[in-house]
Amino acid sequence: MLLKNTLNDDMKAAMRAKDSARLLTIRMLLAAIKQREVDERIMLDDAAITAIIDKLIKQRKDSISAFAAGGRADLVDKESAEMAVLQAYLPQRLSAEEVAAAVAALVAELQPSGPADMGRVMAAAKSLLAGKAEMGQVSAAVKAALSK
């Protein structure tokens, strides 16, 4: 089943259950998906939807840190709840060891000359690990592999 269909079914279930927090989060996600589809005149696949979810989760993490610094526990709770709903739609993430192993294999394949080739290695890693790992974690693994 496509992720977009799953989101629509979950939105209907949240309506029936009167779960307003979950409903608002799913509607926000579907609106972001629809906005991108309209802007680019395409139908998004699961990988593109996963990228949107990653972006929204990153926004929530940034908001949580800002609200925590400002002492707004109520908004921290709201953003945390939204982030939990969004994370449920992501595929299982790779562990740090699995990311490091994938990056090591990629570095062995590409044979970069050093840290100057980080962009080339990151481009390959992004296409390989998109949706499977957080890109910040991948970037750290690439930096560690290239500094050896």
| Predicted local confidence at residue 72, as pLDDT | 96
| Predicted local confidence at residue 27, as pLDDT | 98
Contacts of 90 (CB under 8 A, 6+ apart): 50, 53, 54, 57, 131
Q: What is the pTM of this model?
A: 0.82
| Predicted local confidence at residue 58, as pLDDT | 93
Domain boundaries along the sequence of the chain: 3-87, 96-146
Residues in the chain: 148
CA distance 30 to 27: 5
| Predicted local confidence at residue 91, as pLDDT | 86
| Predicted local confidence at residue 1, as pLDDT | 61
CATH code: domain 3-87 is 1.10.1510.10
| Predicted local confidence at residue 115, as pLDDT | 85
| Predicted local confidence at residue 64, as pLDDT | 97
Collect the ranges in the chain with pLDDT lower than 50. none
Indicate the class that CATH gives domain 96-146: mainly alpha
| Predicted local confidence at residue 69, as pLDDT | 97
